[in-house]
């Protein structure tokens, strides 16, 4: 394991390759890779779209100027396992079997928060235990929703239930608050065993605002072959509370086939996941479909292995009735 020299217990550092970054934890450094072709953004300490990361040209980053190297090249014979990843900001997306969400732990939160974390399991279809290690959710007793990628199972954790074990390829964690009277939480997830090995092909990503609207399909643009894609859209990670406003999503797609092998399934979420409709085949080809909610949208896309690559456009925005 390489060594790093930084004054704080945990740090994230840029890598010469834009898609990678270093995690420095207690003097030990490990390389991590951003999913889905995203670049590491040192300004936000998150994986981001390449156009938002200054300094990266052709996938490489200029060297960091410093008199004391952050990372040394010591490479002892023994290695240590990378510690579980911590997720702390709304909209984060990771590929991992073990980790922790620490959101506003021991801090107050706002009423109407709608904070999403996307977790795809690295080993494939696995048995996983989720544990709400600590929380201050007395006023929002079941504020943490864990939604399986299969979309047929969810559980609410909080004051009444603190742990659950189930099988999945991945999950969407949604923190939904009605009041501002509590504090945040720490949620850990741990792999118990592998049922079907092999990471689910495709993308799982959340969009917290309108900056990246419209989204072109396929995403990423060079995606080919079969995939199972999960896109979540929120209005600044908040529930739309104004009586004269709502959150709108529009989807238009070209399928290149008459049958519904490749498909989009649209869901909304206010208090729980609600199926809106599916879009596929020649009947829906090229038509624009519009949806509205006060919460968030989940778009689940299946790209069938024997179908032409689906192309399309997804737009989203907060809209006033005025």
State the DSSP code for 220: S
When pLDDT is averaged across residues 193-217 and rounded to a whole number, the result is: 93
Average pLDDT over the chain reads 86
The pLDDT value given to residue 75? 47
pLDDT digit string, tens, across residues 153-190: 999 999 999 999 999 999 999 999 999 999 999 999 99
Same domain membership, residue 219 and residue 306: yes
Same domain membership, residue 191 and residue 99: yes
The pLDDT value given to residue 245? 96
pLDDT digit string, tens, across residues 85-143: 889 999 999 999 999 999 999 999 999 999 999 999 999 999 999 999 999 998 898 99
Same domain membership, residue 141 and residue 191: yes
pLDDT digit string, tens, across residues 229-259: 999 999 999 999 999 999 999 999 999 999 9
What's 245's domain CATH number? 2.60.120.290
Residue 66's Cβ-count burial label (10 Å; 0-12, 13-18, 19+) is exposed
Task: Report whether pLDDT(72) > 70.
Answer: no
pTM for the model stands at: 0.76
The pLDDT value given to residue 298? 98
How far apart are alpha carbons 30 and 75 in whole angstroms?
A: 11
Same domain membership, residue 118 and residue 141: yes
The pLDDT value given to residue 73? 46
Q: How far apart are the first and last CA of the chain?
A: 59
Q: What is the DSSP string of 186-209?
A: EEEEEEEEEEEESPPSS-EEEE-S
Same domain membership, residue 99 and residue 59: no
Pair type for strands 39-41 and 46-48: antiparallel
State the DSSP code for 109: -
How far apart are alpha carbons 202 and 225 in whole angstroms?
A: 9
Domain containing residue 309 = 204-320
How many domains does one find in the chain?
A: 3
Same domain membership, residue 210 and residue 315: yes
Same domain membership, residue 208 and residue 316: yes
How far apart are alpha carbons 211 and 201 in whole angstroms?
A: 26
């Amino acid at each position: 394991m390489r060594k790093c020299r930084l004054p704080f217990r945990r740090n994230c550092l840029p890598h010469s390759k834009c898609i990678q970054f270093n995690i420095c934890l207690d003097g030990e450094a490990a390389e991590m890779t951003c999913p889905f072709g995203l670049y590491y953004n040192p300004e936000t300490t998150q994986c981001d779209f390449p156009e938002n990361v200054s300094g990266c040209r052709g996938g490489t980053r200029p060297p960091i100027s410093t008199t004391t190297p952050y990372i040394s090249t010591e490479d002892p014979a023994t290695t240590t396992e990378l510690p579980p990843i911590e997720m702390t900001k709304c909209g984060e997306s990771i590929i991992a079997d073990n980790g922790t969400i620490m959101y506003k732990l021991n801090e107050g939160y706002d009423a109407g928060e709608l904070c999403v974390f996307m977790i795809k399991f690295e080993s494939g279809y696995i048995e996983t235990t989720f544990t709400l290690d600590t929380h201050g959710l007395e006023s929002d007793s079941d504020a943490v929703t864990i939604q399986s990628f299969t979309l047929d199972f969810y559980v609410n954790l909080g004051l009444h239930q603190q742990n659950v074990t189930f099988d999945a390829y991945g999950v969407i964690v949604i923190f939904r608050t009605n009041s501002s009277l509590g504090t945040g939480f720490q949620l850990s997830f741990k792999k118990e065993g592998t049922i079907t090995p092999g990471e689910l092909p495709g993308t799982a990503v959340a969009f917290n605002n309108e900056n990246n609207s419209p989204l072109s399909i396929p995403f990423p643009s060079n995606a080919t072959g079969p995939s199972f894609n999960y896109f979540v859209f929120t209005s600044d990670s908040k529930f739309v509370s104004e009586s004269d406003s709502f959150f709108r999503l529009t989807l238009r797609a070209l399928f290149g086939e008459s049958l519904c092998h490749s498909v989009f399934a649209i869901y909304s979420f206010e208090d729980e996941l609600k199926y809106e409709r599916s879009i596929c085949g020649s009947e829906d080809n090229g038509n624009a479909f519009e949806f509205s909610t006060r919460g968030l949208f989940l778009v689940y896309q299946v790209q069938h292995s024997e179908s032409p690559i689906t192309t399309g456009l997804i737009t989203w925005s907060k809209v006033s009735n005025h």
